Amino acid sequence: MTFGMLRAACALLCAWSVAAAATEFRLEVEDVGHGIFALVGPLGDRSYENHGLNATYAVIDTPEGAILIDSGASRMGAELLAAETQRLTGKPVRWVINTGAQDHRWLGNAWFIAQGAEVIAHKRTVNTQKKEVGHQLERLAPALKERLDGTEPAHATRVIVADSETLQLGGRTLEMHYLSDAHFAGDVMLWMPEARTLFAGDHVYMDRILSIRPFSSAEGWLEAFGKLAAFDAVVIVPGHGSVTDTAGAQRDTGDYLAFVVEGVRKHAEDMAGAEEALAELGDAPQFERLQNYADLHRANVHQAYLQIEAGL
Ligand SMILES: [Zn+2]
C-alpha cells in the first residue's frame, strides 16, 4: 500500500467514524402539518452526546427548497440538522433563519453557507451573536470536545433591519418580528400566517423552566411574550420543548414570567432586597412540574430582582 493509498483509506475511515458518531444522536420529530416539522432536542444541558442541540428546531418544506429554523451549535450539529431535513423533505436546506443569538441557534451557520444556503438573521440578533461568541465557544469546548472541531462562527448572508419583515420562498410566507429583548437581546420570532403557526425561538420554553440570565431582559421577555400571544397562533414551535399552542405557551412560559417579574417588581420598588423577594417567591410549587425547576427557579427570581431594581 502506498502512502497515498494509506492516506485515502484513513480519510475514508475518519469520515466514516464522524458520520457514525453523528448518527447516534437523533432529535425527536413532530410533524406539525402544512409541510412543517419540529425537531425537538433534549431539555437538559449541552453535552457531548447531544452536540449542543438541546433546543427545538424547525424545518419547512417548500417547492424551492427547505427552510431550517436555527442552525445548531457546531459544524457537526449543522450536518445532523441538514441530514434530518433531507430525510424529511427530500431537499437540501436552501434557507437558514436564526431566531436568536444563543450558541445552538447559529454556530452551524458557516457549514450551511459553505453548502450554498442563504442565512437570514435580524441585525439585532447578529449584533448579540458578535458580542457573545467568545463565551459561547469557551463554554461549548469542554462539553463538545473534538465534536466542536471545524466550527467557525459566521453571521447571516442576508441581514434584516426592520422590526418586521416578510420573507417568501416557494410560495410560503414567513414574517420575522422583533418584539423586545428577551432571553437574549435581539431574539426574534417567525410567523407563518397561512398555517397560523409561530416559531417562537427562545421566547417560549415548554416542559422545562426558562432561564433568566444576566444577559436576558426579564421585563422585556414578559413584554415580548404578551405581543407573541396576541398572534393567537394555533401551533407554536417553541425554542425548547415540544410543540404547543397559545394556551400551552401561556402555561409554561407566560404565567411563569408574569409570576417572577410581577412578583419581584413590587419588592424592587420597595427596595426590599433580593432576600425578601426570594422569601416570598422562592417556592413556586405550581411550576415544579417544569424540568430544571430546582436548578433554575431561585436563580431566576434573584436575577429578575437585580435587573428590575437596577432599572428603577
Ligand atoms: Zn435556548
CA of 202 to the centre of ligand 1 (A): 5
Residue 280 lies in a domain: no
CA of 103 to the centre of ligand 1 (A): 8
Look at the chain and report how many structural domains it folds into.
1
How far apart are the C-alpha atoms of 97 and 162, rounded to whole Å?
Answer: 15
How far apart are the C-alpha atoms of 18 and 12, rounded to whole Å?
Answer: 10
What pLDDT is attached to residue 312?
81
CA of 270 to the centre of ligand 1 (A): 32
CA of 204 to the centre of ligand 1 (A): 9
Check whether 12 has a pLDDT greater than 80.
no
What pLDDT is attached to residue 97?
98
What pLDDT is attached to residue 18?
47
Q: Do 240 and 39 contact (CB within 8 A), yes or no? A: no
Residue 265 lies in a domain: no
Residue 49 lies in a domain: yes
CA of 85 to the centre of ligand 1 (A): 20
Domain that holds residue 165: 23-245
Which DSSP symbol is given to 208?
B
Residue 2 lies in a domain: no
CA of 160 to the centre of ligand 1 (A): 21
Convert 94-128 to b/e letters by CB count within 10 Å (16 or more is b). Answer: bbbbbbbbbbbbbbbbbbbbeeebbbbbbebbbbb
CA of 304 to the centre of ligand 1 (A): 18
Separation in Å, CA 215 to CA 5, 52, 305: 52, 20, 14
Residues around the ion ligand 1 (C-beta < 5 A): 55, 102, 202
Q: Per residue in 44-53, pLDDT tens?
A: 999 999 999 9
| CATH number of the domain that residue 125 is part of | 3.60.15.10
